[in-house]
Amino acid sequence: MSNSWKRPKIKISKTKSEWLWDILGYSFYLGSFIFLIYNWNRLPDKVPAHYNPLGEIDRWGSKMELLILPIIGAFIAVLMQVLEKFPESHNYPERLNQENAKEFYLISRKMINLLKNICLITFTLLLFESVSIAIGWGISFGVWFLPITIISVLIPIIVGIIKQKKVR
Burial of 94: CB neighbours in 10 Å, binned 0-12, 13-18, 19+: exposed
Q: Indicate the DSSP class of residue 83.
A: H
In this prediction, residue 46 carries a pLDDT of: 96
C-alpha closest to that of 47 among 36, 35, 63, 59:
63
Round to whole Å and give the CA distance between 34 and 28: 10
pTM of the model: 0.90
Q: What pLDDT does residue 139 have? A: 83
What pLDDT sits at residue 7? Answer: 86
Residue 1 confidence (pLDDT): 45
The pLDDT value recorded for residue 28 is 97
User: What average pLDDT values come out for the chain (168 residues) when binned by 10 residues?
Assistant: 67 96 98 96 96 93 95 96 95 92 96 97 96 92 93 96 94
What does the pLDDT read at residue 128? 96
